[in-house]
Amino acid sequence: MKKLILYTAGITVLVLASVAALIYKWTITPYGRLHPVMGVINRLLNLVSTYGLFDRNNLPQVRQMMSMVRPRIPVAGVIDQSIDGPGGSIPIRIYVPDGKGPFPVIVFFHGGGFSIGSIESHENVTRSIAKKSSSLVVSVGYRLAPENPFPAAFDDAYAAVQWAQANASEFNGDPTRLGVAGDSAGGNLAAAVSLKARDEEGPSIGLQVLLYPTTVLTDMDFPSRRNFSGYVLTEESGKHVLDHYLPDITIRSDPYASPLLAEDHSRLPPAYVMTAAFDPLLDEGLLYAEQLRAAGVPVTYRNYEGMLHGFLSFDDIVSIFPPLARLLKEPDYVYSDVADAVGHWL
């Protein structure tokens, strides 16, 4: 019996050592080390390939798959309703945090290359922001491309911010403490509506939270776009996104599509800008933060080492495997950063 126990223990140690060695191998890249959890996810994504993620024929299936997220972050309340928009009704979901309020209000725009993603796909991202920052979060189901190209998503986003300022008090929100937030394509929308609100003296936005944002929708050459193609996002997927959202190439430099190309970045809301170190969008996020700072806008910039694009959403996958989940602390750090920014500026 003792020999059997020792044999079993030896096999277990050998298997664990082999798994650890394999994971370590997956973290090694020409550009440094991936976080171990990101190394596993990157390997899995490479096996299933992400090249067809934004293919027009695949969009219905991808949208359905991305919406199958199980809510796991508790909040005090969730309210679904629709608001009037320039192209018809816009679905929104309001997350109410614990506490007495009135709460700061954050209008959130989900990522997904303007053509996939939904309120449901970002259920736990928005819940986490609401819970950690004690904010009333309004998540916006804007129109998606290619069925609705630019400026449909942008117009819906701006309409939602206008609605939030006019109606947040009905949900125990404080419309005088209004922020916008978004990840990836949603970060683009948050930056763009901040520009328009300034240009047109619209809603008074006190904070923009830009989470690994895409800030320029042209074929500008950035080292990160070249070096990290294939790390979640690919050059081919980027082309699909542009073709879906901006089929008219003559307007891709419009500052409301490409905020980085705006002539003036002064008098914009204070910004929290977060990037991921292994993200094709790294350089444009960093450059936008630098342009804001150069224009006199207060900026908090964080680059998360070892992380892939979309790592906040990957937390949903990792949560299924507790040993891996215990290793991934970075999403919590980001939500703490956002809470600090909300506390400081709103």
How do residues 300-341 score in pLDDT, each as one tens digit? 999 999 999 999 999 998 888 787 778 899 999 999 999 999
How do residues 188-228 score in pLDDT, each as one tens digit? 999 999 999 999 999 999 999 999 999 999 989 999 999 99
Residue 266 lies in a domain: yes
Checking if the pLDDT of 13 tops 50, the result is: no
Number of separate domains in the chain: 1
How do residues 28-60 score in pLDDT, each as one tens digit? 899 999 999 999 999 888 776 655 788 899 999
User: HEC string of 34-102?
Assistant: CCHHHHHHHHHHHHHCCCCCCCHHHHHHHHHHHCCCCCCCCCCEEEEEEEEECCEEEEEEEEECCCCCC
Of 155, 156, 279, 337, the catalytic one is 279
Known catalytic residue at 344: no
Any bridge partners for residue 273, and if so which? Answer: 210, 301
H-run or E-run covering 124 = helix 123-133
Known catalytic residue at 279: yes
- What's the token pair of residue 90? 């816009």
Q: Give me the count of residues in the chain.
A: 346
- What's the token pair of residue 116? 């996939």
Q: What is the span of the domain harbouring residue 147? A: 54-345
Of 184, 194, 224, 313, the catalytic one is 184
Known catalytic residue at 184: yes
Residue 314 lies in a domain: yes
DSSP letters for 153-195: HHHHHHHHHHHHHHHGGGGTEEEEEEEEEEETHHHHHHHHHHH
Q: Rounded CA gap, 186 and 192, in Å?
A: 10
DSSP letters for 277-294: EE-TTHHHHHHHHHHHHH
CA dihedral 322, 324, 327, 329 (to 10 degrees): -70
For 215, other C-beta atoms within 10 Å of its C-beta total 25
Residue 237 lies in a domain: yes
The answer to whether the beta carbons of residues 338 and 129 sit under 8 Å apart is yes
How do residues 108-157 score in pLDDT, each as one tens digit? 999 999 999 999 999 999 999 999 999 999 999 999 999 999 999 999 99
Of 35, 309, 313, 316, the catalytic one is 309
How do residues 232-251 score in pLDDT, each as one tens digit? 999 999 999 999 999 999 99
Indicate the DSSP class of residue 216: -
* Most confident segment among 5-14, 17-26, 196-205: 196-205
The answer to whether the beta carbons of residues 328 and 315 sit under 8 Å apart is yes
Residue 214 lies in a domain: yes
Q: pLDDT confidence of 12, banded at 50, 70, 90?
A: very low
Domain containing residue 159: CATH number: 3.40.50.1820
No. of H helices and E strands in the chain?
Answer: 12, 10
- What's the token pair of residue 42? 């990157």
Q: Rounded CA gap, 296 and 248, in Å?
A: 33
Residue 177 lies in a domain: yes
Mean pLDDT in the chain?
92
- What's the token pair of residue 151? 């400026």
Q: Rounded CA gap, 241 and 281, in Å?
A: 13
**Residue given tokens 């193609």 in the structure block:** 229
> Residue type at 201?
E
Q: Rounded CA gap, 65 and 121, in Å?
A: 9
Sign of the dihedral defined by the CA atoms of residues 261, 266, 268, 274, in that order: positive
Q: pLDDT confidence of 6, banded at 50, 70, 90?
A: very low
Residue 312: what pLDDT? 97
Residue 44 lies in a domain: no
Q: Rounded CA gap, 43 and 61, in Å?
A: 22
